[in-house]
Structure 1
Amino acid sequence: MSFNFSILCDLLNELDQNRTRKSSKTPNTLSSSNVIVVSWFNKHDRIIPREGPGAVAFLSCLFPERRADRVFNLQEKRLESIIKQAQGLDRVAATSTFSSIKLRQRMEAKYAEPIRTHDVLLRIFQRLYSSEAKWMVRMILKNYSPVQIPETLVMQTFYFLLPNVLGFQNSLEAAVRIMSGMPAQ
């Protein structure tokens, strides 16, 4: 079963709503964010990819700022014009000369003809609901702010050793490869 982007958007929306909530019952936003994260992981545990490219993609969506090898070469102004017209992100990243050579070579081998970033993003944004588009933009810009994802908790919930593995192997792809060879919790 594939992991749907809208499910991730549900988590981000809930964290965003929690941030803006002014409730006397939950004065500690951080602890209520932790409850949201744990509950979300429990609800979707069976469909969260834990190995291979699916796990890397999942973690990359949660922590886009950790993907130094993915440079989209898109700033707010350029992205804004594409979204206005629109209302395969690896393929978009591969169009930037600042992305890793390995990624660019993999995309060149996979797709016969080169693409224009503009065309790919148009197709993507045409299919997204507005709240999903909001998170897609923030993911591309590698900044979910003002939403704060409790990084350590999410990583430990994903795989209990992930924070430790990333401590000596600061690459999501390498960490997933290492964890795939480890016994489950």
Structure 2
Amino acid sequence: MPFRFAHVCDLLDRLDHVYSRYPPYLPKDAAQKSRDAVLYWFKKHGQKIRHDANGVALLSTLFPERTHRVHELDCKSLEKIISRALSLPSSRVTDLTRWRDSEVGEGDLGACVERVVNQALDEAVQPRASGVTIEEIEQALVAIASQTPLSPPHARPSALDGTLNASTGSLDRLYQRLPARESKWLTRLILKSYSPVIVPDRLVYMLYHPFLPELLDVEPDFPAALFLLCGMNIPALVHRMSPSLAEMPRESMHHQT
């Protein structure tokens, strides 16, 4: 079955606790804790990732800043989409726009979305996680990019199977299904920034497949690199034959981040 976006949010939350801590960790301690978080996450979800998740959708969700998709959604246009999708009254729209005033210290648009959704729904009955999948999100974002003239031709075709009806209405439906936490991370995903969170890319690539880091050095486009990986016809046994990073000495792990 497809891979739920809530699982990605679990990892992002854990990394956010590392990089948003005050007082901050020393850089080497933050890097180690982020590696530990990724190792734990892959240990928990590794089987689903390798056998169920769409690879392009997973990597694009974890590293949105590396995708070649171009769309015309910025904070202000996304703010309007969210307001419409959630049918916010004027008072809640005001709360949603607080990200514009840096002096207020209300955080980015993602943080404002999270607060607004929490205010609109009773947190006691709000579901912890939705059934929205990374594949659904990828399909919606590819559809929007396909209608953007600025998007390069190779980034326009769908990375997933199926016909896409490109429309921001797909984002409306996603926001209507997501609880507060996932709405926050979806907003940051669309805007291509999880800052201050840093996802250790080389470690993620190695855990996904031992050959992926080198392939991405040659072909940085996720769909193209994964296509090459499939074309190499490498047996699934490679995953089991290669040493697990969870079992590697920590000093050797430093070379994978």
With the length of structure 1 as denominator, give the TM-score of the two structures: 0.85
Question: d(CA) in 2 for partners of 1:182 and 1:115?
Answer: 35
Question: d(CA) in 1 for partners of 2:59 and 2:43?
Answer: 16
- Structure 1 residues 182 and 16, CA gap change in structure 2 (3 angstroms): same
Question: d(CA) in 2 for partners of 1:158 and 1:60?
Answer: 13
Q: Does the CA contact (< 8 Å) of 2:205 and 2:212 recur in 1?
A: yes
Partner of 2:62: 62
Partner of 1:44: 45
- Structure 1 residues 50 and 141, CA gap change in structure 2 (3 angstroms): farther
Question: d(CA) in 2 for partners of 1:162 and 1:75?
Answer: 31
- Cα drift, residue 164 of structure 1: 0.8
Amino acid at match of 1:116: S
Partner of 1:165: 215
- Structure 1 residues 82 and 175, CA gap change in structure 2 (3 angstroms): same
- Cα drift, residue 55 of structure 1: 0.7
Comparing 121-130 and 36-45, the one that deviates more = 121-130
Question: d(CA) in 1 for partners of 2:55 and 2:2?
Answer: 11
- Cα drift, residue 50 of structure 1: 6.3
- Cα drift, residue 116 of structure 1: 3.3
Amino acid at match of 1:15: L
RMSD, aligned α-carbons: 2.4
- Percent sequence identity is 37
Amino acid at match of 1:31: Q
- Cα drift, residue 168 of structure 1: 0.8
Is 1:99 equivalent to 2:99 in the alignment?
Answer: no
- Structure 1 residues 61 and 105, CA gap change in structure 2 (3 angstroms): closer
- Structure 1 residues 101 and 13, CA gap change in structure 2 (3 angstroms): same
- Cα drift, residue 15 of structure 1: 0.6
Stretches of structure 1 lacking an aligned partner (at least 5 in a row): none
Question: d(CA) in 1 for partners of 2:78 and 2:222?
Answer: 26
Amino acid at match of 1:83: I
With the length of structure 2 as denominator, give the TM-score of the two structures: 0.63
Partner of 2:125: none
Question: d(CA) in 2 for partners of 1:22 and 1:102?
Answer: 42
Alpha-carbon displacement from aligned partner over 1:5-44 (angstroms, at most 9, x marks no partner): 11001100111012234589x7511101100000000100
Q: Does the CA contact (< 8 Å) of 1:72 and 1:93 recur in 2?
A: yes
Is 1:150 equivalent to 2:200 in the alignment?
Answer: yes
Question: d(CA) in 2 for partners of 1:102 and 1:179?
Answer: 18
Paired positions, count: 178
Q: 2:185 aligns with which of 94, 113, 135?
A: 135
Query: Match of 1:182, SS?
Result: coil
Q: Does the CA contact (< 8 Å) of 2:50 and 2:208 recur in 1?
A: no
Partner of 2:18: 18
Question: d(CA) in 1 for partners of 2:85 and 2:49?
Answer: 29
Is 1:116 equivalent to 2:115 in the alignment?
Answer: no
- Structure 1 residues 124 and 32, CA gap change in structure 2 (3 angstroms): same
Q: Does the CA contact (< 8 Å) of 2:206 and 2:212 recur in 1?
A: yes
Partner of 2:126: none
Is 1:6 equivalent to 2:59 in the alignment?
Answer: no
Question: d(CA) in 2 for partners of 1:157 and 1:31?
Answer: 16
Q: Does the CA contact (< 8 Å) of 1:60 and 1:172 recur in 2?
A: yes
Question: d(CA) in 2 for partners of 1:115 and 1:56?
Answer: 19
- Structure 1 residues 103 and 20, CA gap change in structure 2 (3 angstroms): closer
Partner of 2:234: 182
